[in-house]
Every structure is written in C-alpha cells, then in structure tokens.
Amino acid sequence: MIVMKFGGSSVGSAEAIKKTCSIVINNIEKQPYVVVSALSGITDLLISSAKTAKSGDMEALGKIKDTHKEVISALNLDPKIVDQELEELETTLKGIAYLHELTDRTMDTIMSFGERCSSKIIAAYLTAQGHKSSAFTGWDAGIITDSVHKNASYLADSYDRIAERMKNLDVLPVITGFIAHDADGEITTLGRGGSDLTASIIGVGIDADEIQIWTDVDGVMTCDPRICSNARTLPTMSFREASELAYFGAKILHPKTIQPAVKKNIPVVVKNTFNPEFDGTRVIESKVKGNTISGIALKRNVTVITIVSSRMLDAHGFISKIFKVFDDLKISVDMVATSEVSVSITLDGENGCRYDVIAELSKLGEVKCESDNAIICVVGDGIEDNPRLKGRIINAITSNDIIIKMISQGASSINVGLVVKGSDAEKAAKLLHDELIDSE
Ligand code: ADP
Ligand code: ASP
Ligand code: MG
C-alpha cells in the first residue's frame, strides 16, 4: 500500500486532474490511498469569502462555484456532484452575514469545503475511468485532533481508528487532506498546507510502504526555486533535514509532515505531477551519503521580541518566567538567544507585537518588539562536523552589509538560523545558497 497526496496545483484544472488520475491508475497495483488538497486557489477564496461575508459581500462564493462547475463540466462528470457542499457553504456564509460574526470554528468549516469538493470530483473521475472510487473526509478516515481551530494537532488515537476504518476497502479511496474532527465532532483544520500532514498520518495508520507527496516541482530543492534560480533537486534527505527545512519555511512540506513518518520509518517521496518520470526526492531515516548542507529555508513575517533586564544577572528562573508567558498564551517560540542581561525570542508573524504578550513581558523587563523580520535557516546533516561553516555563513551575509539580528544553532546541530530584516531576506538566502551550495 502507498499513500499518494496531490497538492492544489496537481488538482488545479481539468487537465491537471487528468494527469493526477493517470498517475494514480499507473500505480494501481500498489494499492494507492489518494489524499487530495482543494483545487488550486480555492482555500484562499474560501477564506476571503468568509471574511467578506461578514459585510454581506458574496462575490467570492460565485468564483468558488464557477471554478468547480467549470472543472466538473470539462471532465464530463455529473454537474450536481458537489451541489450539496456548495449549498452548505452558501448557508454557512449567509449565517456569517446574518450574525456579523466569524469565529475560528466557523472558518474551519468554511475552509473544509475545498477538500470536500475536490475529493468528490477526483473520486468521480477515477470511477469514470473504470476504477471504482469513493471520497472520504479526514474524519471518515479516522483522523481526530485537538480543538485548536485553524491549526489543530492530530491525536495519536487517529492511527488505530484509521487502521480500523481504512484497511481492506473494496474501493479506491480519495481522502480529503487538511481537515479532521475534534473529539466533539467539530470540523478542524491542520494549518495551511496541512494535506501533506494528512498523507503522513494516513500512511502510518495503514502501515504504508511509502508516502508520496506529488506537487509542482521536481522534489525538495536546495532552496525555494522562486527565490534561488540555481536551486537543484536533492535526490535524498534525512528525516531530520526535511523536518528542519519544513519547519523553517520550505513550503514544499507542511512543518509536521515528517513527524508521523518517522514513527514507522516510512519513506516520504516528493515528486512532480508534471514530470512524473523524474525520481524526485526520497526522505529517509538516514542518507547513504550527502552534502554538508542540504538546503536553505526562509520564513517570513517573523517577530523578534527582546526582553532586557538587569534582574537576569545571576537570577535563576528568569527565563522560565518568560517562557511561561508564551506557554500561558499558547504561542510557540522558534528561536531563542540570550546574553547576560537580555533574551531575544522569535515568533511567527501572525502573533505580531501582540498587546497581551508585550503587557505580560513588560512585567519582567524592558521589552522591544520588531515585526517584519525573516529567519534564514541553513540545514544539513554535515553541519555538526564542520566547525568552520558558521564563520562562512556569517561572513557571506555581513560582507554584503546585511545585519544579522540573531543567530542560533539548533539543538539538533544540523541547522543554523539567522534573523535578518524582512527586506534583506531574499538577498541573504541567495548569498548563502551561492556560498554554501552552488560553489560545492
Ligand atoms: P502543493 O500545492 O503541491 O502542496 P505547495 O505550493 O504547497 O504545493 O509547495 C510547492 C512549492 O513550494 C513549490 O512550488 C516551491 O515554490 C515551494 N518551495 C519552497 N521551498 C522549496 C524547496 N526547498 N524545494 C522545493 N520547493 C520549495
Ligand atoms: N488546501 C489547504 C491549503 O491551501 C491544504 C493544502 O493544500 O495542503 O492550505
Ligand atoms: Mg503544500
């Protein structure tokens, strides 16, 4: 058995859906479990439909309906197959308009319609090609999460539930990525790009031989090809490397994708739907032989908070008080650097310079908060054995007059993270790619 996950661009048009389905059919003897994202651009449209519905504007709904109808018609499928979902979406949007209220819980319900529609379309097309197929939602398949709407964490109970519900099917399953239920049966989502994670959870649940992530590039590359034109595909990577790259912003994989796969040591293979012959990238427990550096990732919209306090000198428990503030507010911290009298911390952009964070931290010292920074992360299994590398990294950046605001070597010692101003981020990533990867 294998899991085959297809992202938004792989199901973005009737042509792409045909390609995707032919790839699935070519692998039919491997018993594929297909996981799909929403049609390209639909999740963004659903989010804006919910936001604009608050003021009674229903324009985005029209675009969502048209996109689905056009694809269904171009594939010659029953024109009504997603009518129920689209009607339910319309009713939910009208509810938002009526109440002038949009909660995170409702946003999850709204976002769920993208994958609920795409899975039905793809299952119908596979059936029309002679392979009896059914659409399953993430909750039908057994995925259960906590109740943190818009960024839920899957619960380990999911695995047994998936094994129970999804093994020995007599149809080809097409499972919605990204969406699940909490213990109360409310719809939750796994964070943007979460279909990759769904694939990995399903892979563990069914004990798959391989988890395949099909996308629009040739695999995991040494840098986002939209930033570094000379980026190249990595034939293999270790689980550790892929986790770090994904966590620090390589959009190719959802940050938590590797977590479940590691549990059962299932290879994660990243391949290109539009170049299926190419081997892509194989992410495995440990590589046979590798480069010192695998890749450079870039995470934008990073906020840096610095707390300065002379009370820190010789005082124990100061850092734990700082972390308690983030813990209480359920905010996760990425990078930390400390000096004798200060602690600097980075947060994801959407938290920004939040009033409640600043107010709590101000009780501990003088607080400075700066938004619009970026983390550039250099990742590679070889970093830990290469003491000179940090000097090269710092030199490549500072000799081009870019200021490094923070630097940290992760506990795993296979990454070095740098914080720079948002406007310097792309230049810094390219400089590091040229210095550390292109020149090797
Ligand atoms: P999908 O819709 O298939 O999930 P995504 O847009 O989420 O696709 O991810 C694929 C995109 O990730 C690529 O088009 C590429 O621009 C971007 N990307 C960022 N970092 C990397 C990287 N290191 N290697 C490959 N692609 C990357
Ligand atoms: N459709 C969701 C998103 O756009 C999930 C995914 O594509 O993986 O974020
Ligand atoms: Mg993605």
What is d(CA 237, CA 415) in angstroms, rounded to the nearest whole number? 14
Asked if 40 and 184 sit in the same domain, the reply is yes
DSSP lists the bridge partners of residue 379 as 295, 415
Phi, psi of 258 (to 5 degrees): -75, -30
Taking alpha carbons only, the member of 227, 362, 389, 238 closest to residue 307 is: 362
Query: Are 25 and 127 part of one and the same domain?
Result: yes
User: Which pLDDT value is given to residue 21?
Assistant: 98
Q: What does the angle CA 365 – CA 367 – CA 369 come to, to the nearest 5 degrees?
A: 165
254: in domain = no
Q: How many domains does the chain have?
A: 2
Indicate whether 190 and 318 sit together in one domain.
Answer: no
The ligand 1 site (C-beta within 6 Å) comprises: 7-10, 37, 193, 215-217, 220-221, 223-226, 250-252, 295
pLDDT at 292: 80
Give me the CATH number covering residue 46. Answer: 3.40.1160.10
> Are 35 and 122 members of one domain?
yes
Residue 260 lies in a domain: no
What's the 3-state SS for 256-298?
A: CCHHHHHHHCCCEEEEECCCCCCCCEEEECCCCCCCCCCEEEE
Residues 169 and 313 in one domain: no
Residue with CA at minimum distance from ligand 1 atom 9: 252
Task: Tell me the pLDDT tens digit for each residue of 201-227.
Answer: 999 999 999 999 999 999 999 999 999
| DSSP letters for 187-208 | EEE-STTTHHHHHHHHHHHHT-
C-alpha distances out from residue 253 to 189, 221, 241, Å: 16, 11, 12
Range of the domain at 140: 2-216
Distances 424 to 8, 68, 221, 346, 431 between C-alpha atoms, Å: 30, 40, 21, 17, 11
Report the C-alpha gap between 288 and 296 in whole angstroms.
Answer: 21
Out of 11, 200, 211, 215, mutate this one to test ligand 1's pocket (max ligand atoms within 8 Å of CB): namely 215
Do 312 and 212 sit in the same domain of this protein?
no
Is there a single domain that holds both residue 195 and residue 66? Answer: yes
Print burial letters for 146-182: b (CB count within 10 Å at least 16), e (below 16).
eeebbbbebbeebbebbeebbeeeeebbbbbbbbbbb
Supply the pLDDT for residue 376.
96
CA 155 to CA 110: how far, in whole Å?
Answer: 22
Q: What are the pLDDT digits (tens) for 215-274?
A: 999 999 999 999 999 999 999 999 999 999 999 888 999 999 999 999 999 999 999 999
The answer to the question of residue 348 being in a domain is yes
Q: At 98, is the secondary structure helix, strand, or coil?
A: helix
In a domain, 340, yes or no: yes
With a CB cutoff of 8 Å and minimum separation 6, the contacts of 64 are 42, 45, 46, 49, 86, 89, 113
User: Of 236, 238, 248, 234, whose CA–CA distance to 296 is shortest?
Assistant: 248
Residue 244 located in a structural domain: no
pLDDT in tens, the chain (440 residues): 999 999 999 999 999 999 999 999 999 999 999 999 999 999 999 999 999 999 889 999 999 999 999 999 999 999 999 999 999 999 999 999 999 999 999 999 999 999 999 999 999 999 999 999 999 999 999 999 999 999 999 999 999 999 999 999 999 999 999 999 999 999 999 999 999 999 999 999 999 999 999 999 999 999 999 999 999 999 999 999 999 999 988 899 999 999 999 999 999 999 999 999 999 999 999 866 667 889 999 999 999 999 998 776 666 788 889 999 999 988 888 899 888 788 999 998 777 788 999 999 999 999 999 999 999 999 998 888 887 888 899 999 999 999 999 998 765 678 999 999 999 999 999 999 999 987 76
User: Is residue 195 in contact with ligand 2, taking CB distance under 6 Å?
Assistant: yes
Same domain, 184 and 322: no
For 105-130, the pLDDT digits (tens) are: 999 999 999 999 999 999 999 999 99
Check whether residue 202 and residue 325 sit in a common domain: no
Same domain as 304, residue 209: no
Domain boundary among 216, 232, 265: 216
Cβ of 193 less than 6 Å from ligand 2? yes
Joined together, the tokens standing for residue 349 give 């952009």
> What confidence score (pLDDT) does residue 252 get?
95
Which residue out of 11, 35, 43 has the highest number of ligand 2 atoms within 8 Å of its CB and is therefore the one to mutate? Answer: 43
Regarding whether 433 and 338 lie in a shared domain, the answer is: yes
Q: Is 50 part of a structural domain of the chain? A: yes
pLDDT score, position 312: 66
Give the model's pLDDT for residue 386: 82
Q: From 216, 240, 274, give the residue that closes a domain.
A: 216
Q: Are residues 185 and 93 in the same domain?
A: yes
Final residue in a domain of this structure, among 216, 250, 265 = 216
With respect to residue 256, please indicate whether it lies within any of the assigned structural domains.
Answer: no
Q: What is the spatial distance between Cα 290 and Cα 440, in angstroms, rounded to a whole number?
A: 12
Q: How many CB atoms lie within 10 A of CB 256?
A: 20
| Token reading at 5 | 């996950």
Q: Rounded to whole angstroms, how far apart are CA atoms 224 and 209?
A: 28
- In single-letter form, the type of residue at position 213 comes to I
CATH number at residue 329: 3.30.2130.10
Asked whether 278 and 214 are in contact (CB, 8 A), the reply is no
Residue 230 falls inside a structural domain: no
Q: pTM of the entire structure?
A: 0.94
